[in-house]
Amino acid sequence: MKHSRFLSVLVVVCVFWVFLASCGAAQPSSDQSVEELVSTLASPAFEGRISGSTGNQKAAEYIAEYFKEQGLEPYFETFYQEYEGPVYRPEQAEPEVILTTAAGETISLKAGEDYFCSLPEMDLNRTLPVFTDPASCQDGAGIYFAPDRLTCLDWLAENPDSIAVFCDAVRDGEVTTISIRKETDRVLLILDQAFSDQLAEGAQLAIKIKASYSEGTLQNVAAVRRGSEGKSALIFSAHFDGSGIFGDQLFPSALDNASGTAAMMRIAALVQQQAPQLKNDLIFVTFNSEEAGMGGAIAFAKEVAAQYETVSLINIDCVGLKGETTYLMAEKRGQPLQEALSGLNFSDGIQASDETYTSDQIQFNGYNNCFPVVFGNVHTYLEPGNAHSPKDQAEQLDYPLIEELAAQLAGFAAEHGDDDFSPDPQQDSGFDFEQAMDAFWEETALLRAQLTQEYGLAYNQGLCVTLNPPQENGKTFESDYLLYGMQPFESLDEFAEQFPFVSLPEALSDEYTFYRAAIRLDHLAEEPVSHAAILDGPTATFTPGEIYEFEIVPEKTELVTAEYLAPDGSAVHLMLSVGRDFFTVEPTALGEDLDPALSGWEFLGLENDLYYAAKFRQGENVLLLLFEQTPGGESPDPTILSSGRMALLNMEEISSRLTQMDLAGLIQNLLSSFG
């Protein structure tokens, strides 16, 4: 929806209630429909409700007045809970951008139509050349024209005093799926695709925009219907902040999340009309700044978890998109609540799902007495314009479906408001995330060893595969990984030729001699484009089933591991990591009297049935030695060189440390200690 400059000025200066009256929107009342509530919240009067903005504050006042109209009590001393968070004032930005092409043509770009820009903390007034080579843009020397959004954000995150631009999120003056909030600490400019050909080498951009972002005080809005006992609480929640306004372009934020806010408000009205006196407190809360880090939910979860024995939370975020199913989803601890809600007589437009959904409810997972679920449109972002865009307008919503959801949940509160939805203790302890992650990495290591042999992967090659790592809620998700080749070097000379920055001894003692060694690379490629900087060649994305080659440099190497064998088949695995400690070895009394000949290093040891481990730590610098007992002269398990997930390290520092260590003497002392 396009708006005239006159209307934008009118929005800023008009008195709130006068404007509502002129638009035909009524003041809050108990008989307002969901459609009326959404239309009001998504109207120009609220300016897209980006957190901390004038429109955001007006929306908070509107919701508080609605709660008061229903006869609800403030949850706190007032209806507001204050916390510190991101404050955006897009009306203060007054942006100006001028593009000068390589041919010398000057084009004055229109804010909100030709471009969008993140809101800076300080005034910005700079004219810089545009480069497609990021190296030319270091230290603010130029504006980086990135090929896509992920590359753009990755580069911005690593480069201070920088500006970057990309074109694939704006098409014909419409944003496909991005809001104008501050996504990085740098300046992000998004141009219409029509200008991509004109951002060639030799072009320049003049950017002028006033400070319109700061940290400040924000408000959640919370009301309560007190129960007779008040030991537990049932909460209905939604976030009311949106994506804002830029130039003359409004992001109405109807689906995301006027829809959930209106549903929650309607539930509050229906509960007041229908629900009997309950034992538990019923809380109705709208969170602020969900779109900018979920600060509102974080602040509220901390308060409410401390007040009750149990807290059951029903969050509502992005519901009722026409043609889409609204799903009921549970975090692991909220599954009993999900099961109870699944018993409601929902239409086909509302269904339970095992999918995951990231919204405010996840902030309650860290509290053992909180049990969250969420209603939402899982596929909200699959179609351009559904959310975080000017197309997110009130007319795209299925209001009968949202009314049904509100009515069903109000009835649920009346019937089950006294119930306790805490999980069965045995069921709740059935999933151990850390144990599941350990198992996942162990399986991944075995797969990598297998694929290394099957594909003949060299040390500098990675095969892209799709795996299913666990999540803390007990579910899994598909993600692309690069499994790097672990084909070891069986010659010290060959190893030294490939990795001159590492110096390995030929023997650790008279008994243990060099067998093989490898360089480990365990990068996770959830966002493969972030690895483009170390790719050989122009490829910037990874495809499952494809093999990619890399240049190995010290700063990109995670671990060096070497294997030394004795004639009887027993092995010592030497692992070196400098800079971070990823070796999980618990302290024991083993070797307390050892002198490791490493001044300033602390000794830790662990014994189990399979191997002995000796770990030396100095801060986060680590030397680990694994002693594997192999029966009958069998060769040690070849997967040992590709197991685990280790840290980034600086191999030059490792080489320096190695040359200073009396490693042979150290190993001799360790072997005698182990007997």
Q: Kindly state the DSSP code that residue 67 receives in the 8-state scheme.
A: H
* Tokens 């799902």, located at residue: 353
- Residues 168 and 270 occupy one common structural domain: no
pLDDT bucket at 36, cuts 50 / 70 / 90: very high
Residue 63 has pLDDT above 90, yes or no: yes
CATH for 390 = 3.40.630.10
The CA–CA distances, whole Å, from 535 to 150, 521, 528, 538, 544 equal 16, 13, 11, 8, 16
Question: At what angle are helices 259-274 and 399-416 packed, to 10 degrees?
Answer: 40
* CA 92 distance to own-chain centroid: 29
**Tokens representing 59?**
């929306």
Residue 570 has pLDDT above 70, yes or no: no
- Distance from C-alpha of 294 to C-alpha of 312, rounded to nearest angstrom: 19
Q: Which residue has the higher pLDDT, 32 or 458?
A: 32
Helix (H, G, I), strand (E, B) or coil at 332: helix
Identify the CA nearest to 49 among candidates 11, 13, 79, 96. 11
pLDDT at 51: 95
CATH for 136 = 3.50.30
Cβ-based neighbours of 128, under 8 Å, separated by 6 or more: 140, 141, 142, 143, 163, 204, 205, 207
User: Mean of the pLDDT values across residues 568-586?
Assistant: 57
The total number of structural domains that make up the chain: 3
pLDDT at 631: 44
Residue 255 has pLDDT above 50, yes or no: yes
pLDDT at 271: 94
- Distance from C-alpha of 374 to C-alpha of 101, rounded to nearest angstrom: 49
User: Which range, of 298-312, 426-440, 450-464, 624-638, averages the lowest pLDDT?
Assistant: 624-638
pLDDT at 583: 47
* 434 domain residue, yes or no: no
User: Mean of the pLDDT values across residues 171-190?
Assistant: 66
- Residues 398 and 261 occupy one common structural domain: yes
pLDDT at 222: 98
CB 564 within 8 A of CB 507: yes
User: Mean of the pLDDT values across residues 60-65?
Assistant: 97
Please give the single-letter amino acid code of residue 217.
Answer: T
Which of 211, 243, 278 finishes a domain?
Answer: 211
Please name every residue paired with 82 in a beta bridge, in sequence order, or none if there are none. Answer: 219
pLDDT bucket at 618, cuts 50 / 70 / 90: low
pLDDT at 237: 98
User: Mean of the pLDDT values across residues 184-203?
Assistant: 82
- Residues 332 and 411 occupy one common structural domain: yes
Which of 392, 415, 438 finishes a domain?
Answer: 415
Report cis status (omega within 30 of 0) of the bond before 386. no
- Residues 86 and 116 occupy one common structural domain: no
CB 328 within 8 A of CB 394: no
Residue 638 has pLDDT above 90, yes or no: no
- Distance from C-alpha of 188 to C-alpha of 148, rounded to nearest angstrom: 12
Residue 57 has pLDDT above 80, yes or no: yes
pLDDT at 408: 95
Q: Which residue has the higher pLDDT, 188 or 150?
A: 188
* 472 domain residue, yes or no: no
Cα first-last separation, the chain: 79
User: Mean of the pLDDT values across residues 152-179?
Assistant: 72
- Residues 191 and 323 occupy one common structural domain: no
pLDDT at 175: 57
CB 615 within 8 A of CB 604: yes
Q: Kindly state the DSSP code that residue 202 receives in the 8-state scheme.
A: T
Q: What is the 3-state secondary structure (H, E, C) of 9-58?
A: HHHHHCCHHHHHHHHCCCCCCCCCCHHHHHHHHCCHHHHHHCCCCHHHHH
- Residues 233 and 358 occupy one common structural domain: yes
- Residues 228 and 180 occupy one common structural domain: no
Residue 426 has pLDDT above 60, yes or no: no
Per-residue b or e along 312-322, where b marks 16 or more CB atoms closer than 10 Å to that residue's CB: bbbbbbbbbbe
pLDDT bucket at 4, cuts 50 / 70 / 90: very low
Residue 29 has pLDDT above 90, yes or no: no
pLDDT at 258: 97
Please give the single-letter amino acid code of residue 518.
Answer: A
pLDDT at 468: 76
Question: At what angle are helices 54-69 and 34-41 packed, to 10 degrees?
Answer: 150
pLDDT bucket at 671, cuts 50 / 70 / 90: very low
- CB neighbourhood size of 660 (10 A): 9
pLDDT at 2: 30
State the burial class of residue 193 (Cβ atoms within 10 Å of its Cβ: 0-12, 13-18, 19+): middle
* 528 domain residue, yes or no: no
Identify the CA nearest to 550 among candidates 576, 577, 578, 531. 531
Which of 189, 211, 233 finishes a domain?
Answer: 211
- Distance from C-alpha of 354 to C-alpha of 163, rounded to nearest angstrom: 40
Please give the single-letter amino acid code of residue 459.
Answer: Y
Residue 87 has pLDDT above 80, yes or no: yes
* 420 domain residue, yes or no: no
The per-residue pLDDT of the chain, averaged, comes to 75
Residue 672 has pLDDT above 90, yes or no: no
Please give the single-letter amino acid code of residue 224.
Answer: V
- Residues 294 and 392 occupy one common structural domain: yes
Q: Which residue has the higher pLDDT, 177 or 146?
A: 146
* 38 domain residue, yes or no: yes
Q: How many CA atoms lie within 13 A of 208 on its CB side?
A: 8
pLDDT at 501: 63
Q: Which residue has the higher pLDDT, 49 or 472?
A: 49
User: Mean of the pLDDT values across residues 409-414?
Assistant: 95
- Residues 120 and 252 occupy one common structural domain: no
pLDDT bucket at 3, cuts 50 / 70 / 90: very low
Residue 296 has pLDDT above 90, yes or no: yes
* 483 domain residue, yes or no: no
User: Which range, of 120-124, 190-194, 371-375, 477-481, averages the lowest pLDDT?
Assistant: 477-481
- Residues 323 and 389 occupy one common structural domain: yes
Given the DSSP bridges, would you call strands 80-88 and 163-171 parallel, antiparallel or unpaired? unpaired
- Residues 281 and 188 occupy one common structural domain: no
* 423 domain residue, yes or no: no
pLDDT at 311: 95
Q: Tell me which range, 24-33, 151-160, 399-408, 623-632, is most confidently predicted by mean pLDDT.
A: 399-408
CB 394 within 8 A of CB 35: yes
User: Which range, of 94-98, 158-162, 274-278, 300-304, averages the lowest pLDDT?
Assistant: 158-162
- Residues 340 and 239 occupy one common structural domain: yes
* 481 domain residue, yes or no: no
Identify the CA nearest to 391 among candidates 175, 117, 243. 175
List the domain range (segments joined by +) for residue 359.
5-90+216-415
pLDDT at 674: 36
pLDDT at 358: 83
- CB neighbourhood size of 556 (10 A): 17
- Distance from C-alpha of 203 to C-alpha of 197, rounded to nearest angstrom: 10
- Distance from C-alpha of 80 to C-alpha of 476, rounded to nearest angstrom: 37
pLDDT at 569: 67
| Percent of the chain clearing pLDDT 90 (strictly above) | 36
User: Which range, of 180-194, 197-211, 291-305, 368-382, averages the lowest pLDDT?
Assistant: 180-194
Q: How many CA atoms lie within 13 A of 403 on its CB side?
A: 10
